[in-house]
Amino acid sequence: MAAHPVVFLLQLWFALCGPAPTGAAKMKVVEEPNAFGLNNPFLPQTSRLQPKRDPSPLTGPAHLFRLSGKCFSLVESTYKYEFCPFHNVTQHEQTFRWNAYSGVLGIWHEWEITNNTFMGMWMRDGDSCRARSRQSKVELTCGKNNRLAHVSEPSTCVYALTFETPLVCHPHSLLVYPTLPEALQQRWDQMEQELADELITPQGYEKLLRELFEDAGYLKAPGENEPTQQEGATRGLGTETLENCNKARSELSEEIQRLTSLLNQHGIPYGRPTAETSHSEHLAQQSPIDVTSEQLRGDPGLRGTIL
Ligand SMILES: *[C@@H]1O[C@H](CO)[C@@H](O)[C@H](O)[C@H]1NC(C)=O
Ligand SMILES: *[C@@H]1O[C@H](CO)[C@@H](O)[C@H](O)[C@H]1NC(C)=O
């Protein structure tokens, strides 16, 4: 049986507004042309690596900027990993095979901030990995020397690196607040006051704080800094703005109401396969409407259960 219009509209909404990575992962994406030649043995090693874009500017604690332009490597089993702070992470297969793999595991993108502390550096938009790009999170920890200490791949094409450096040993060395320009510090102070006075909710505060970090350049707004080679068609869904989605959602909600009242008006049961209609009259009166109104409230927690 074909999907019911209401079900279809819901699916459409989830397709438009669902979490971007899921949407993108389902999409069939043609391998980017620049993947060709990556492992071409006739090209010298250096020109085989093709970064998709330039790194983000230097941001964050200024005392770390001295790491920029340096690279630190670690050989683990058959791979050499190289971390160039504020630039990139690359991988080089240690073999004499003609088609040894070398690749970009990420380009400097943004900070990971937890508890108002710089916790790590996100390097994204590395070489294609199925429908996605490889990416790496580099955790900064205190150590005697600058050293790439550990590399793992906790999930496919997402790499976790640990970089040890004496530059982060002081307990205050990674605090976000002191690195901000005065105007943003004042904005943050004011937000704290408004939170204390309960003029904003904790969620509102979190949202404003994220915006503040974006304005400081520490975090990137979703969709910012995208490599230009990416096809707009596949990326477009992920970069839909919240406003667009909310607008689409209320339009769909009206349409669902119109359709359900039309169905009720004509006494047409809906929401269950036809085989069950005989004994699902009662359910049809309630559950589909309940489900849609629940979903349309936009609780993201419910999305997962439907998909
Ligand atoms: C990675 O960064 C280093 C250091 O800035 C640079 O020399 C190198 O060309 C970069 N590699 C790629 C593939 O972008
Ligand atoms: C957050 O940071 C503060 C001070 O920087 C520290 O005292 C506290 O334990 C941290 N909390 C968590 C959950 O890491």
Q: Over the stretch 125-170, which tens digit does the pLDDT of each residue have?
A: 999 998 899 999 999 999 999 999 999 999 999 999 999 999 999 9
Q: List Cα–Cα distances, 55 to 52, 154, 159, in angstroms.
A: 9, 24, 18
**In contact, 174 and 64? CB cutoff 8 Å:** no
Task: Kindly report the pTM of this predicted structure.
Answer: 0.62
d(CA 159, CA 134): 8
List the structure tokens of 157.
Answer: 């094409």
Q: Does the pLDDT value for residue 187 go beyond 80?
A: yes
d(CA 270, CA 5): 10
State how beta strands 158-165 and 147-155 pair: antiparallel
Picking from 20-24, 96-100, 219-223, which range would have the lowest pLDDT averaged per residue? 20-24
Site of tokens 């200490």: 149
Which numbered ligand comes closest to the C-alpha of 87?
1
Residues at CB less than 6 angstroms from ligand 1? 49, 51, 69, 71, 84, 87-88, 90, 104
CA nearest ligand 1 atom 10, residue: 88
Going from the Cα of 115 to the center of ligand 2, the distance in angstroms, rounded, reads 6
List the structure tokens of 144.
Answer: 């005697």
Q: What is the CA radius of gyration of the chain?
A: 25
pLDDT of residue 222: 85
Which numbered atom of ligand 1 lies nearest the CA of 87?
A: 2
68 backbone dihedrals φ, ψ, rounded to 5°: -65, 135
Nearest 5°: CA angle at 16, between 306 and 263? Answer: 65
Site of tokens 């049961």: 269
223-232: pLDDT as tens digits: 776 555 444 3
Going from the Cα of 44 to the center of ligand 1, the distance in angstroms, rounded, reads 15
